Amino acid sequence: MPRRIILGAVALSAMSLAGCVEDTGGGGTSAPMPTEADQACLRAVTAETNNPDVTLLGSSFSEAGTEVIVGVGPDRARWQCIAYSDGTTTRPMSLTDEGSL
């Protein structure tokens, strides 16, 4: 009888843990695909800095415009850009000491 209780507890534990797994569809450890807004700002920062070594660090959507933070170069100097639903962006702005870039 105790064996059935243990097996039942193990089955319940496994079922409850299965609900804790989040499937992001990536199948690996890669970052999610950048949105159109992210891509627009990545292009704008690349053009502004004349440096193709850019990385998406984060973005915050709002209906007014999506704030995108981009890392530039090997030190990932932080740049900010706002992307709009019509595909335009603001001029990228450095968030670090420009004298050190």
Q: Are 57 and 76 in contact (CB under 8 A)?
A: yes
Q: What is the four-CA torsion angle of 16, 17, 22, 23, rounded to 10 degrees?
A: -100
Q: How many CB atoms lie within 10 A of CB 51?
A: 14
| Cα separations in angstroms, 50 against 3, 8, 12, 80 | 67, 62, 56, 15
Stated pTM of the model: 0.66
How many other CB atoms are found less than 10 A from the CB of residue 10? Answer: 10
Helix (H) or strand (E) holding 43: helix 36-49
Where the chain has pLDDT below 50, the residues are 1, 5-27
